[in-house]
Chain A
């Protein structure tokens, strides 16, 4: 089966004043379908940069990135937006919900851009909100939800349109341990039930414990890539 993500000799260099910062150096990585992996490493190791490059939010300085069978490193921005809309889901550390929309509307947002009919959109949104344990909170705006609830809405938004890949940048960073564990169990469930590939970047031991594959990064290079038995 074709892998979800393939990175070949991917490098990213940022310019800070006149200094070149090598955020990623010749990274080679293959992520098979339905993988549940975690990028870990100290701050500045290149986790978020790699996540952003795989998600098409940024472009590599050199190398090739293939997502869902399509090369994205030189893809035109409109096509990239289309790919993100239909094939990639994002979960951010700071939840990044749209404050003027309710939980249901936030979940419907991507489907609305995809042109899914209103009735179907609503049904799917309510179903997924119930699945992430937010039944009855659909009409609340983000400010009326706790951090854990907001992150669940963000997860629901990321997976509702059944993308091939969900990228989660430090998804548990702002959550207490109990809420974080519940969230990870939810993501494992989504991975198993919906066949979605998950890629995390984290410092959190808990996230690593739940992951079936750990990829360690240091100074922009992969220093470890191992499979393990996950906690759940």
Chain B
């Protein structure tokens, strides 16, 4: 058995190199296909990952806790008390990397010249570290120092729109907890940069207690946001949080940002379609090459049968050739993709298309991200379907009656 397998392997390998040009061409095509599959998957996964991470950092977190009704109508009436001992205990476990309690209400910001609708976010500056983008986003001025910090952080675009600047004063207006107008003047102590632009124009940040005082909220808050060590393994945490906060609305990021989930699913479908298109093109080349080889060697296959080789071994020989081609194509394609993705590690700058990218929430610089599952899927698809596609030429090789095959000139 072992000697037969070795014989088939030797025959397959040497037959492949009877036509080095043809073998080289199909190897190039296979490698190119695999390279495109893996590279595109890396870039797509990178774009998705950056979009997802950015959305999570842009105040979403992995889990949010609100008062019932807040998600549909994020107004001050839907505030909630600060976390009690049970919820604090659940938030203090290793399953939570960071968490923060926020005040988050709609407001109007008015400068000397302009006004704009924004979301006023009252934060604990220390709690936001490791949770959201804001601690690292202040490009001019300073970050907030405490929950009592009366300074205001505005986005660069909003500052431009309001025709105001660092150090100047603006007025924030919102509805107070008592249904009366709540307003207060703030000095801009920091200007932040963020992507997408809607974050810069849509949010302003103040110390949480200052916000609570302005809105006459007492200790009440709008939301608790948290991140876990792994965003896709939060089922247990969700259960514990729901048990610790009965009556509150505890939601994972997948429900808060359903569009992101949809985008991920759509991207997976697009990747599979791309894989199939590339594979179909490759398989035509592969089958054609094998059919040519089989046709040219009809007489040889007849000889093999005459000498006592069973048809299934002839099938094995052709499949062996296919296996070698596929394995080499996969190795070359994966190596080329690895080199390409490594080369792009520093990011693929697509700022020329930045506007379009930003509209769908992508960063203009794509950082490839290799998912083992994508690479495995591409390799398995080419390997398994490639061998299945090769069955036809293999069957053609084995189906000849030896005397007819030998009679062929």
Contacts and interface: CB of A to CB of B under 8 A. Distances in A.
B308 A82 contact: yes
B310 A78 contact: yes
A198 to B, nearest CB: 17
Chain A interface size, under 10 / 10 to 19 / 20 to 34 / 35 or more: 20 to 34
B402 interface: yes
A57 interface: yes
A86 interface: yes
A139 B311 CA distance: 28
Contact of B7 (A55, A96, A109): A109
Interface stretch (A25-33, A112-120, A210-218): A112-120
B1 interface: yes
B3 A85 contact: no
B14 interface: yes
B315 to A, nearest CB: 13
Interface centre among B10, B303, B306, B401 (most CB of A within 10 A): B306
A138 to B, nearest CB: 16
Interface in B255-312: 299-300, 303, 305-311
B308 A112 contact: no
A125 to B, nearest CB: 13
A115 B299 CA distance: 24
Nearest to A52: B403
A105 B14 CA distance: 13
B338 interface: no
A82 B312 CA distance: 13
Interface string A107-134: 0011011011110010000000000000
B58 interface: no
Chain B interface size, under 10 / 10 to 19 / 20 to 34 / 35 or more: 20 to 34
B11 interface: yes
Nearest to A85: B308
A92 B406 CA distance: 9
Contacts of B299: 96
Given A98-B300, A118-B3, A84 B14 contact: no
A211 B10 CA distance: 39
Contacts of A113: 4, 7, 307-309, 313
Nearest to B297: A99
B4 to A, nearest CB: 6
Interface centre among B1, B305, B307 (most CB of A within 10 A): B307
Contacts of B233: none
A110 B401 CA distance: 19
A100 B15 contact: yes
Contacts of B1: 115
Contacts of B313: 113
Contact of B310 (A57, A81, A92): A81
A200 interface: no
A77 interface: yes
A29 B275 CA distance: 62
B403 to A, nearest CB: 4
B18 interface: yes
A113 B310 CA distance: 9
Contacts of A40: none
Contacts of A84: 306-308
Contact of B308 (A58, A98, A110): A110
B115 to A, nearest CB: 83
A90 interface: yes
Given A113-B4, A115-B4, A98 B309 contact: no
B409 to A, nearest CB: 9
Contact of B4 (A77, A92, A101, A112): A112
A98 B8 CA distance: 13
Contact of B309 (A57, A81, A86): A81
A99 B401 CA distance: 21
Contact of B3 (A78, A82, A98, A116): A116
Contacts of B307: 84-85, 90, 109-110, 113, 157
A90 B7 contact: no
Interface string B230-253: 000000000000000000000000
A57 B306 contact: yes
A92 B11 CA distance: 21
A105 B3 CA distance: 12
Interface in B119-159: none
Contacts of A105: 10
Given A57-B306, A98-B11, A112 B402 contact: no
Given A57-B402, A58-B403, A113-B308, A100 B7 contact: no
A79 B178 CA distance: 96
A100 B3 contact: no
20 contacts: A57-B403, A57-B406, A58-B402, A77-B311, A81-B305, A81-B311, A83-B308, A84-B306, A85-B307, A85-B308, A85-B309, A96-B406, A98-B11, A99-B18, A101-B14, A112-B7, A113-B7, A113-B309, A115-B1, A115-B4
Given A110-B307, A113-B308, A118-B3, 7 more contacts: A81-B308, A96-B299, A98-B11, A98-B300, A100-B15, A100-B18, A157-B307
The 9 lowest CB-CB distance pairs between A and B, nearest first, are A85-B308, A100-B14, A57-B403, A84-B308, A58-B403, A112-B7, A57-B402, A52-B403, A96-B303
